[in-house]
Amino acid sequence: MFGGQDSKQHTVQPYVTGTSVIGLKCADGVVLGADTLVSYGSLAKNRKTSRLMTVSNHCSLGFSGEYSDFQEIKSTLEELMISEYCMADNIPMQPRAIHQYLARVMYEARNKQDPLYNQLVIGGVLPATGEGYLGLVDLLGTNYESEMIATGYGTYIALPLLRKAYRPDITVAEGRKVIEDCLRVLYYRDARSIDTVQISTVTKEGAETTEPFKLETSWDFKKFKAGSRLIDESTW
């Protein structure tokens, strides 16, 4: 039986969680976006929690899922970056290396049946070429690279929008707009989101995460006002 005398139960669900993170790879870098809410179930527990972090000059990270697990990951990463700083040997850690490192951390935890309950989105540039890099790791250790990534509810809401907006030659400036639009739509559709967001851009010049800012929203769409059912023209 579960929870018997000899068995041990680790985390089976997250408690304090962040919702979607989205990212778009651009020709000259990468853009990540996330709102600043962490929820306790459906309770909006903290509305000013940064869910994006700048890892290095060439790399940013965003998370969704359990906040405490992310804090642990964050300190692991900071430690890694300090030891890189101390090496002082002119070999900047590539975003891909950071991505893979996190994948090993997540997979190891999962194999102890004690996963870190997060999806992590890694955005960066290759220092040499300035080419963008975008990757994901989840709580199972699954990891992949993609031109556009969204986690959580964003998988349903933002990903199609990102796919539509993506061009191989899209610039970071354009990408920023797309990400902002996606965050807006997510705010309209996702009950666990809020309208205060952060955006992180990584280019050859460096990685930068904005201060939290409020999205401009508009609620006077006809369907928003009336409720969709009242003007539903479908037959069922």
The catalytic residue positions are: 11
Find out whether 121 and 144 touch, Cβ atoms under 8 Å: no
The single-letter DSSP state of residue 210 is P
Residue placing its CB nearer to another protein in the complex, 93 or 158: 93
DSSP-H helix ranges across the chain: 67-87, 95-111, 154-165, 172-189, 222-226
- Nearer Cβ to another protein (70/187): 70
Residue 180 carries which DSSP code? H
- Minimum CB separation of residue 138 from another protein in Å reads 17
Q: Which two tokens stand for residue 235?
A: 């037959």
Tokens 């669900």 belong to which residue?
13
| In the complex, minimum distance from the CB of residue 156 to another protein, in angstroms, rounded to a whole number | 30
Minimum distance, C-beta of residue 221 to another protein, in the bound complex (Å): 46
Q: How many whole angstroms separate alpha carbon 130 and alpha carbon 213?
A: 27
- Interaction site with another protein (CB under 8 A): 75, 79, 82-83, 85-91, 93-94, 96-97, 100-101, 104, 128
User: Which residues have CB under 8 Å from 191's CB, separation 6+?
Assistant: 42
Of residues 71 and 210, the one with the C-beta less far from another protein: 71
